[in-house]
Amino acid sequence: MIKVCIADNYPVVHFGVKSYFKDNADISIVANVGNFLMVRDILQTKDIDVLVIDLDLEGLSSIFEVKAILKNFPKTKIIIYSGLSEQIYAPNAIKAGVSGFVHKSEKLETLGVAINKVHQGKIIMNETVKKNLALIAKQSKSERLYRKLSNREVEVLRYLSGGKKNHEIAEILNLNEKTISTYKLRLLTKLNVTNLVDLVNKAKTLEIV
């Protein structure tokens, strides 16, 4: 039996997922948590095979925190289960070490297949994301600079798009404010815009927000 923990902000998601897998012969939802602090507590007290987590989970500010979970609990596989753009977030999540990305618009049957496959050691992503990763791998470092945003850049852009100031983002991500300013300048360059308004509009176009 695959022991699964669901980490999500919304009770309706917990109820829906748990109800769907109630009679599943292979998957057991053994824990439901509503914030990132509880994730750590659960992983320390229970053997969790697969953690299904939303990137918008309360208390989760960075993909690097997910990366730390993978390092501290190497036997636990992670699936990102989110409504955020798969095109933008899945490649960075896979690079960080997660085993799969399932968009919330997918049927729960798809989530079940993903849970089974990642438990077997497989990496789950759709064909478009696979092609994007393959294309990025073939590009030179200079080409990637303009075509690909790093994990941190995506996070900073997301917070900027949400109206956060540099000092607020620095506090959330536990970084220096000058570092945030540097990321902001890189984003302006990579996305070929000259001001914050255009940067936010580009983020919306890319479905980063």
- What DSSP string describes 11-34? HHHHHHHHHHTTT-SSEEEEEEES
DSSP per-residue string spanning 56-75? T-TT---HHHHHHHHHH-TT
Determine what percent of the chain is predicted with pLDDT higher than 90: 62
Higher per-residue pLDDT: 206 or 178: 178
Sheet harboring 50-53: ordered strands across?
27-33, 2-7, 50-53, 77-82, 100-103
Q: What is the pLDDT of residues 104-114, one digit of tens each?
A: 999 999 999 99
Residue whose C-alpha is closest to residue 32's, from 16, 23, 24: 16
Q: Which CATH superfamily includes the segment(s) 2-137? A: Response regulator (3.40.50.2300)
Q: Residue 184 pLDDT more than 70?
A: yes
Give the residue extent of every domain in the chain. Answer: 2-137, 151-206
At 59, the amino acid letter reads G
Tell me the helices (H) and strands (E) count for the chain, helix number first. Answer: 11, 5
The pLDDT of residue 130: 66
Q: pTM (2 decimals)?
A: 0.74
pLDDT band at residue 138, thresholds of 50, 70 and 90? low
Q: Residue 81 pLDDT more than 80?
A: yes
The pLDDT of residue 160: 93
Where are the extended beta strands (E) located within 40-158? 50-53, 77-82, 100-103
pLDDT band at residue 32, thresholds of 50, 70 and 90? very high
Look at residue 98 and give its three-state secondary structure: coil
Higher per-residue pLDDT: 141 or 204: 204
Higher per-residue pLDDT: 75 or 133: 75
Fold of 151-206: Arc Repressor Mutant, subunit A (1.10.10)
Q: Residue 51 pLDDT more than 90?
A: yes
